[in-house]
A = this chain, B = another copy of it.
Amino acid sequence: MFSTDDLCSLRWDPVSEKVEVIDQTLLPHALRWCHLDSLQAFCHAISTMQVRGAPLIGITAAFGLAHALSEDASDEHLARAAATLLATRPTAVNLRWALEEIRVAVRHLAPAERAGAALEKACALREEDIANCERIGDNGLQLLRALPTGDRLNVMTHCNAGWLAAIQWGTALAPVYKAHAAGLPVHVWVSETRPRNQGTNLTAWELQRAGVPCTIVADNSCGQLMRQGRVDCVIVGSDRTAANGDVCNKVGTYLKALAAQASSIPFYVALPESTIDWDCPDGEQIPIEERDAAEVLSIAGLDAGGELLEVNLAAAHSQALNPAFDVTPSWLVQSLVTEHGNFAASEEGLQKLRAVATGA
């Protein structure tokens, strides 16, 4: 189903060498492709969150660095452009990783060869991301096929870990797309994911675009739906996975994991190996970013005239706190779904993953 460029967050035309990304800040209200044709445009796309999602940020930065080298392939410009791109989202792990991949690929080359090699590497990273996500989809599909379900296979997800967060397929949504393509009657409960509403804005939009039936629900109703037997499994992504299998993901993930456990519903976390932080022994060590209170106190939407605007929800001078992530302890996670296979969310499970990944 991802054979066309129609369901793709970043497209690359080999003839024109044009890089285009969907401006995700306008979703779900408008689909606009942005042509990234300068280092500044790449940086702007990342810093203003036109592109977001760890894999997509990394790939965008890789193409951005390749573009910078096509203008000036000197050592100085390479270092300066990489630093500029890195500064757009300083905490994004994949951003640093992708820039380093490009740097390593070109540093020993003569300047004249660098732009071509960087572009080749960026394209390779893009293809690799797509392939990894597709493998996550295949591995997750095995789990979905094994579930006892009724007329519908009801999958609940949180935030956005779909093709908009990667290039194609996504992580948490890859098994859903695979199931849909295989003819399984899959339906997705999309929790809106306050305060930034990535569920409503991104996940529901991309599922609709791919023709997968879905229903938006308030985050609050997820426990009740599980109690009522209307959820067969939960699949979410991971921003960072500790070496013991604890999962740091968008705030609200933990509440769904608790509710799934209470109703004996499997809770799966889909992630590429790159999100595993081997140096982090457990989730308690992961600092939780607290974002701007304004994200809780105001929200954007379309007014009656179709204009996108921001409205204030709370009384003047209200205080708000906005932790962006939470930690789901590993004992609530049924399985980690990765490009290398499905593993227990435990230190032992992750060691097995490492053995498979390194071919040990």
Is the beta-carbon distance between B255 and A222 smaller than 8 angstroms?
Answer: yes
A205, A208, A326, most chain B CB atoms within 10 A: A326
The answer to whether A215 touches B321 (Cβ under 8 A) is yes
**Min C-beta distance of A75 to chain B, whole Å:** 44
- Judged by a CB distance under 8 angstroms, whether A91 is at the interface is no
A321 to B190, CA, bound (A): 10
Q: Is chain A's interface secondary structure helix, strand, loop, or mixed overall? A: mixed
Residues from chain B with a CB closer than 8 A to the CB of A314 are: 28, 200-201, 204, 216
Query: Does any Cβ of B come within 8 Å of A259's Cβ?
Result: yes
Whether the pair B313, A224 counts as a contact (CB closer than 8 A) is: no
- CB-CB nearest in chain B for A300: B311
Known A-B contacts A218-B195, A218-B296; the reply to A208 vs B254 at CB < 8 A is no
Q: Considering residues A208, A221, A300, which has the most beta carbons from chain B within 10 angstroms of its beta carbon?
A: A221
Number of identical protomers: 2
Question: In the complex, which of the residues B227, B300, B317, B322 contacts A221, with contact meaning CB atoms closer than 8 Å?
Answer: B322
Check B194 against A218 for contact (C-beta < 8 Å): yes
Residues of A at the B interface (CB closer than 8 Å) are 27-29, 192-195, 197, 200-201, 204-205, 208, 213-225, 227-228, 250-252, 254-255, 258-259, 262, 288, 296-304, 309-315, 317-323, 325-327
21 A-B residue pairs with CB within 8 Å? A28-B318, A192-B313, A194-B219, A200-B318, A201-B313, A208-B317, A214-B319, A216-B321, A218-B251, A218-B296, A219-B219, A220-B252, A224-B323, A224-B325, A227-B326, A298-B301, A299-B299, A299-B313, A301-B312, A303-B303, A303-B309
Q: Other CB < 8 Å A-B pairs besides A192-B194, A201-B314, 13 of them?
A: A28-B318, A192-B296, A193-B220, A200-B297, A200-B318, A204-B314, A216-B296, A216-B297, A219-B219, A221-B322, A223-B252, A224-B251, A224-B326
